[in-house]
Amino acid sequence: MHFVTEFVLLGFPGQREMQTFFFFLILVVYLLTLLGNGAIVCAVKWDRQLHTPMYIFLGNFAFLEIWYISSTVPNMLVNILSDTKTISFTGCFLQFYFFFSLGTTECFFLSVMAYDRYLAICHPLHYPSIMTGKFCVILICVCWVSGFLCYPVPVVLISQLPFCGPNIIDHFVCDPGPLFALACIPAPSTELICYTFNSMIIFGPFLSILGSYTLVLRAVVRFPSRAGRTKAFSTCGSHLMVVFLFYGTLMVMYVSPTYAENHHFDIFSSDSTLKSLYL
């Protein structure tokens, strides 16, 4: 049972001029991100030469990124210019659910994209027969469905905590760390469940990606052609860099048992910036 009916997202506390600056900065970055990812989606859809598994996955990843940033940024922009900076109890947990479900889906897509590169580089002769159009659709559906089925349990568990005191969240989004801190009574069992759950979601795809690229790198160094090695490294290098930085941020933020104390970091900005560079 809860008593708090709304939360206050502090976001960017400070002078009005600075808040206005951040508003336009975030708005420009948001619009550019929408434009860039939208262009990728349109290019993959309309150019038949891009109807290959690698670009189909990339197009879906770009489409996913549009929804991922849209789950938080519009509300963030409204809050920056708002005097109250409030979000309803239901709205907070809906944002929590969609933000983390879409983020989990991105983890799964990164894993699938790494597996695709593994097949293309390590098994080029069997690649066309394995990575068929039907199999691509199955992998894409599994990523989307699995991502949205993972977080109902944590959201329900945290929403059932008693919130009867302070309602100020020192963050840009409704994050589990600050929500645990606002609960009227400690919930170590719920925190442990969320910690274990986050660890499984993060480390599962990450170990899959690590295994795929270990095999890819081992195959690439055996290429007889220097041009072939360069092409393979250029294809996989940017993806690997984003994977390590993305998962490194996630592990620091959400795998540590004390992540409830780490909510001052902005995972959104670093995560979205890195993936935008990759795209």
Return the percent helix, strand and coil in the chain, to nearest 5: 75, 5, 20
d(CA 113, CA 54): 7
- Residue pointed to by tokens 């939208």: 38
pLDDT tens per residue across all 279 residues of the chain? 457 888 988 877 667 778 888 899 999 999 999 999 999 999 999 998 999 999 999 999 999 999 999 999 999 898 888 878 889 999 999 999 999 999 999 999 999 999 998 998 889 899 999 999 999 999 999 999 999 998 898 999 999 988 887 888 888 888 888 888 888 888 888 888 888 888 888 889 989 999 998 898 888 777 777 766 676 667 677 777 778 777 777 766 665 555 544 444 344 444 544 454 444
What are the backbone angles phi and psi of residue 223, rounded to the nearest 5°?
A: -60, 130
Q: Give pLDDT, residue 260.
A: 45
CA distance 86 to 6: 6
In order of 42, 45, 57, 126, 144, the CA distances from 50 in angstroms are 11, 8, 11, 20, 21
- pTM equals 0.84
Domains, the chain, ordered by start:
6-278 (1.20.1070.10)
Confidence at residue 268, expressed as pLDDT on a 0 to 100 scale = 42
CA pair distance 154, 158, nearest whole angstrom: 6
Report pLDDT for 242: 73
The CB density around residue 147, as the number of other CB atoms within 10 Å, is 21
Q: Which residue has the tokens 């072939």?
A: 228
Q: From CA 73, how far away is CA 92, in angstroms rounded? A: 13
* SS3 state of residue 170: coil
pLDDT for the residue 70: 93
